[in-house]
Chain A
Amino acid sequence: MDQDPQFQKSRRGFLGGLGATAAGLTLAQAGSARAQATPDPAITEIQDWNRYLGDGVAANPYGKPSKFEKHVVRRDVEWLTASRESSVNFTPLHALDGIITPNGLCFERHHGGSPEIDPAKHRLMINGLVDKPLVFTMEDLKRFPGRVNKVFFLECAANGGMEWKGAQLNGCQFTHGMVHNVMYTGIPLKVLLDEAGVKTNGKWIMPEGADSSAMTRSIPIEKAMQDCLVVWGMNGEALRQEQGYPLRIVVPGWEGNMWVKWLRRIEVGDQPWHHREETSKYTDLLADGRSRRFTWIMDAKSVVTSPSPQAPLKFKGPNVLSGLAWSGRGSIRRVDISIDGGKNWQTARLDGPVLPLSLTRFYVDFDWDGREMLIQSRAMDDTGYVQPTKDELRKVRGLNSIYHNNGIQTWLVRSNGETENVEIS
């Protein structure tokens, strides 16, 4: 950093005011729209779309994004996994705004490919420690009283897992893109469990998928009864195939692996099952060689999505810094931003609904003078948990735990606007 890395005081309300050097840059922009030498042909020439008829209503029975947005797609990292069917792709966070993730852009993680299931042949069974084991069709489920619509984030516990040992991937799509935020439609799991009648010794449930990995996880009955949902809808339409069509379980605030897709069975038991996804995987190996298990909750985390390596700064003067924050323990209370690598902080503006266990959008409107910046964001939730730095996390977890990396991300913005993923002292 060759310049005073402190915030600028701006008429757009981004009040740093920490240093006296702020002056010039902000004010230079004031009221001075750029002068244009020659008339803009985008205005003076009549465009094709202005003269000729556009598409008719039959052209796109199911609408798609404009072809000019075709770069906004999920992407995968080929070297990450041995098989494309047990792999992951990433939400393009850098190109999205607001808090809802469009259905076609929600990241995918499956362990045996994404199956195409005929809903007419899909069944949900509830068995184990219940008064009466039951089987439901999709039509049965949609007749249940007590239907709800709720927004929740889903984050894979391995989101950021490549970054434990240092900065690896250039782009928040890759470092943070195993998260999405969706409004689900379905019924509380409690309604179904009550219908079957959970026996008094029923302490755990185990959702199971219908796909070729037959995914299973153990969930304590308290969580199942408290806020888990069984859902068939996302963002107003049916679940996408890759998100579990026709049915998935929603486990708010807890790691994504537990949100079993293609849900076909829920067993009630008196002990956890210790299956592969909660022993071999999704346990956190610490420096002393021991491992934490049942680390279900996703701790508070945030990331600046713009600027970021895939969304560099292109202009000096007015710019909008934007990002996302979330916590599996509750609502986001506050997000702070630093442009000097965590030395000084400024509170960002939260916009849109601030919902519990949901992505929350934040903004900082600022004037950029072309100085180098080390941008960070720090989330705080309503339990008082403050997102730690990567080094603070490494101190307690070591480098081998793969999962639950919620450390503060640093982006280096160079004076030409290029932005990259860096580790700092």
Chain B
Amino acid sequence: MSKSRKVAGLALVAALLAAPALAGKTGLGREALPEEVAAWDIDVRPDGAGLPPGKGSVRDGEQLYLQQCASCHGEFGEGAGRWPVLVGGQGSLKSEGPEKTIGSFWPYASTTFDYIKRAMPYGNARSLSDDDVYAITAFLLNQNGLVKDDFILTKENFSKVKLPNEQAFYDDDREKAERHFWQKDPCMKNCKPDAKVIGRARMIDVTPEDGKSIKVE
């Protein structure tokens, strides 16, 4: 190979290698078809964006709930055994044992619809129709005392349903509220009185395996 051909060859390689980076878009992948987007894009927002057409009544929701949900979440949403509680807990958030449910804690009703549609019933996700999800959501709102027994939830009236705890949420403010955790020179000597043990995990004894007894040489 002549010297000039070699040089030209190297230049070509360099150009080839550099090309994709310069092009901006790679052209990789392909355009998603509307049917594909529709199949996966099922998410719902508080403003109602993403809600499918449909409706469901508290009464229909109760039937569906008893068949498909009550075995885990309890007949009244009280949670069977240790499965999640969906109903009640109002007024408990400041107590020692807060109960965080759709009625007591969740800020938006849309979250209930979105979550049930994407993930419930547990182990058989995406098996409910949109009308079923409207009906079950209506039932859970009703059990939480938020809508009447004859209520019918629809795409149109959805965003009118407000949950009582919405205003209690605020954006992370640790950098202000916990400003004192930023310190130039943390104390190194004689920082506090002698420390005393005031609690021991061993007293509660919930660790799966107990520490084996050991020997010091």
Q: Does B215 contact A (CB under 8 A)?
A: yes
Cβ B43 vs Cβ A275 within 8 A: yes
Whether A267 contacts B43 by the Cβ 8 Å rule is yes
In this complex, what residue of B is CB-closest to A387?
B181
The tally of CB-CB contacts under 8 A between chains A and B is 281
A343 adjacent to chain B (CB < 8 Å): yes
* Residue from A276, A279, A343 within 8 A of B191 (CB atoms): A343
Given contact pairs A292-B170, A292-B173, A293-B170, A143 touches B190 in the complex (Cβ within 8 A) = no
Do B28 and A274 touch across chains, with their CB atoms under 8 A apart?
no
Bound CA–CA A388/B191 (angstroms): 13
Residues of B within 8 A of A214 (CB): 118-119, 125
**Is residue A170 contacting chain B, with contact meaning CB distance below 8 A?**
yes
Q: Mark B77-119, 1 if CB is under 8 A from A, else 0.
A: 0000111100000000110101010100111101100110011
B54 close to chain A: CB less than 8 A: no
Nearest CB of chain A from residue B201's CB, rounded to whole Å? 4
Closest to B92 in A: A289
For B83, the closest partner residue in chain A by CB is A82
Q: Name which residue of chain B comes closest to A368, CB basis.
A: B216
Size of chain A's interface in residues, with CB distance under 8 A? 113
Interface pair A299/B174, CB less than 8 Å apart: yes
Chain A, residue nearest B215 (CB): A314
The answer on a CB contact under 8 Å between B195 and A316 is no
- Cβ of A1 < 8 Å from any Cβ of B? yes
B188–A345 touching, CB < 8 Å: yes
The distance in angstroms between the C-alpha atoms of A280 and B103, with both chains bound, is 11
Q: Which residue of B lies closest to A283 (CB)?
A: B169
- Residues of B within 8 Å of A201, CB to CB, are none
By a CB distance below 8 angstroms, the chain A residues around B31 are: 132-135
The 8 Å CB contact of B216, one of A18, A206, A416, is A416
Q: Does more than half of chain B's interface fall in helix, strand or loop, or is it mixed?
A: loop
By a CB distance below 8 angstroms, the chain A residues around B28 are 136, 140-141, 143-144, 195
Most chain A C-beta atoms within 10 Å of own C-beta, residue among B32, B171, B174: B32
Among the stretches B7-15, B135-143, B206-214, the one at the interface with A is B206-214
Contact of A78 among B123, B172, B208 (CB under 8 A): B208
Question: In the bound complex, do residue A170 and residue B207 qualify as a contact, i.e. CB atoms below 8 Å apart?
Answer: yes
Identify A384's interface contact among B123, B182, B199, CB under 8 A. Answer: B182
With a cutoff of 8 Å between Cβ atoms, the chain B residues found around residue A144 in the complex are: 26, 28
The distance in angstroms between the C-alpha atoms of A50 and B191, with both chains bound, is 56
Which chain B residues numbered 153 to 208 have a C-beta less than 8 Å away from chain A? 168-174, 177-178, 181-184, 186-202, 204, 206-208
**A contact residues vs B (CB 8 Å cutoff):** 1, 5, 18, 75-79, 81-83, 85-86, 111-112, 125-128, 132-137, 140-141, 143-146, 166-171, 174, 194-195, 206, 208, 212-214, 216, 264-265, 267, 269, 271, 273-276, 279-280, 283, 285, 287-297, 299, 309-310, 312-316, 336, 340-346, 370, 374, 378, 380, 383-388, 392, 396, 399-400, 410, 412, 415-425
Q: Which 9 A-B pairs have the closest CB atoms?
A: A341-B195, A423-B199, A421-B201, A133-B32, A167-B201, A82-B82, A136-B29, A276-B115, A170-B207
**Residues of B near any A CB (own CB < 8 A):** 20-21, 24-26, 28-32, 36-37, 40-41, 43-47, 72, 81-84, 93-94, 96, 98, 100, 102, 105-108, 110-111, 114-115, 118-119, 122-123, 125, 168-174, 177-178, 181-184, 186-202, 204, 206-211, 213-217
